[in-house]
Amino acid sequence: MKLLNHTLLYLSASLIFILSIWAVVFYISMMDEVYDSIEDGLENYKILIIQKANTDTTLLRKNYFGESNYAIRPIAKEKAIMATEAFKDTAMYMEYEESLETVRMLTTYFSTPDDRYYQLKIIASMVEEDDLVADLMHALLWLYVAVIASAFIINNWVLRKIWRPFYELQDELRHFKLGEDKSFNPPQTRVSEFMDMNETVAELLKANIAAFQQQKQFIENASHELQTPLAIAMNKLELLLEQHYGTEEQTQLLANAIQYLERLTRLNKALLLLSKIENRQFAREEAIDFNALLRQQTDDFRELLEYKDIRVDIAERASLVWSFNADLADILVTNVVKNAIIHNHPGGYIQIRVDGNGFSITNTGHAKPLETTEIFNRFHRTPDNPASTGLGLAIVRSIVQFYHIQVTYHYENGLHGFTFHREPRPAAVN
Q: Is pLDDT at 429 greater than 60 in this prediction? A: no
CATH code, domain carrying 416: 3.30.565.10
Q: State residue 428's pLDDT score.
A: 42
Domain termination residue (choose one: 229, 262, 278)? 278
What pLDDT score was predicted for residue 383?
Answer: 52
**Domain end (from 123, 149, 175):** 149
Closest by Cα among 171, 180, 173 to 325: 180
Domain count for the chain: 3
pLDDT (average), residues 395-419: 83
Closest by CA to 266, choosing from 226, 301, 221, 218, is 226
In degrees rounded to 5, what are phi and psi of residue 179?
A: 95, -15
Asked if the structure places residue 132 within a domain, the reply is: yes
Q: What is the pLDDT of residue 269?
A: 65
Which residues neighbour 275 within 8 Å (Cβ) at sequence distance 6 or greater? 215, 219
Q: Is 84 helix (H, G, I), strand (E, B) or coil?
A: coil
Instruction: Report the pLDDT value the prediction gives residue 262, as an integer from 0 to 100.
Output: 64
- Give the pLDDT score at 140: 78
Nearest to residue 157, comparing CAs of 2, 4, 3, 1? 4
Mean pLDDT in residue range 325-344? 85
Instruction: Assess whether 274 and 345 both reside in one domain.
Output: no
**Dist. CA 342–CA 321, nearest whole Å:** 27
Which pLDDT belongs to residue 430? 42
Q: Please report whether residue 59 resides in a domain.
A: yes
Q: Are 394 and 378 in contact (CB under 8 A)?
A: yes
Looking at the fold, whether 113 and 26 belong to one and the same domain comes out as yes
Q: In this predicted structure, what is the pLDDT of residue 402?
A: 79
Give the separation between CA 295 and CA 290, rounded to whole angstroms.
8
CA proximity to 310, closest of 277, 343, 266, 281: 343
Report whether 85 contacts 107 (CB < 8 A): yes
Confirm whether pTM is higher than 0.75: no
> Domain range spanning residue 364?
286-422
For the sheet with 86-94, list strands across it: 70-74, 117-125, 99-111, 86-94
| Residue 174 in domain | no
pLDDT value of residue 413 = 80
Q: Which of 256, 278, 300 is the last residue of a domain?
A: 278
Q: Determine phi and psi for 344, rounding to 5 degrees.
A: -100, 170
Give the pLDDT of residue 178. 66
pLDDT digits (tens, 9 = 90+) for 133-142: 777 778 878 8
Residue 190 CB burial class (10 angstroms; 0-12, 13-18, ≥19): exposed
Residue 8 lies inside a defined structural domain of this protein? yes
Shared domain for 88 and 114, answered yes or no, is yes
Q: Is residue 271 domain-shared with residue 309, that is, in the same domain?
A: no
Residues 35 and 119 in one domain: yes
Residue closest to 390 by CA, chosen among 377, 379, 401: 379
d(CA 101, CA 95) in angstroms, rounded, equals 10
- What CATH number should be reported for the domain holding residue 230? 1.10.287
Q: Look at strands 358-364 and 311-316 and give their pairing.
A: unpaired
**Which phi and psi angles does 175 have, rounded to 5°?**
-95, 0
Rg (CA), the chain: 46
pLDDT at residue 28 is higher than 70: yes
User: Per residue in 47-67, pLDDT tens?
Assistant: 998 888 888 888 888 878 877
Asked if 338 and 260 sit in the same domain, the reply is no
Query: Do 257 and 371 sit in the same domain of this protein?
Result: no
**Is 54:46 a contact under the CB 8 Å cutoff?**
no
Q: 46 with 114, same domain?
A: yes
Lowest-pLDDT range of 205-209, 333-337, 339-343, 389-393? 389-393
The residues with which 109 forms a beta bridge, in sequence order, are: 119
- What pLDDT score was predicted for residue 266? 62
Asked if the model's pLDDT at residue 392 lies above 70, the reply is: no
Residue 334 in this model has a pLDDT that exceeds 80: yes
Digit-coded pLDDT (tens) for 84-127: 889 888 877 776 667 777 788 889 998 888 888 888 898 888 76
CB contact at 8 A, 331 and 395: yes
Return mean pLDDT, the chain: 78
> Where is average pLDDT lowest: 30-34, 264-268, 312-316?
264-268
Q: Does any domain span residue 155?
A: no
CB-CB contact of 343 with 366 (8 Å): yes
pLDDT digits (tens, 9 = 90+) for 163-200: 777 777 878 777 776 666 567 777 777 778 878 888 88
Helix (H, G, I), strand (E, B) or coil at 196: helix
Give the three-class secondary structure for 112: coil
Strands 86-94 and 117-125: unpaired
Structural domain contains residue 19: yes
Instruction: Give the pLDDT band (50/70/90) at residue 427.
Output: very low
User: Is 154 inside any structural domain?
Assistant: no
Q: Which residue has the higher pLDDT, 77 or 375?
A: 77
Helix 248-278 / helix 392-402 crossing angle, nearest 10 deg: 10
Q: What percent of the chain has pLDDT over 70?
A: 75
Q: Are residues 395 and 301 in the same domain?
A: yes
Query: Residue 261: is its pLDDT beyond 80?
Result: no
List alpha helices for 154-191, DSSP H.
160-162, 164-174
Please report, rounded to a whole number, the percentage of residues in the chain having pLDDT higher than 90: 2
Q: Note whether 274 and 313 are same-domain residues.
A: no
Task: Quote the pLDDT of residue 344.
Answer: 86
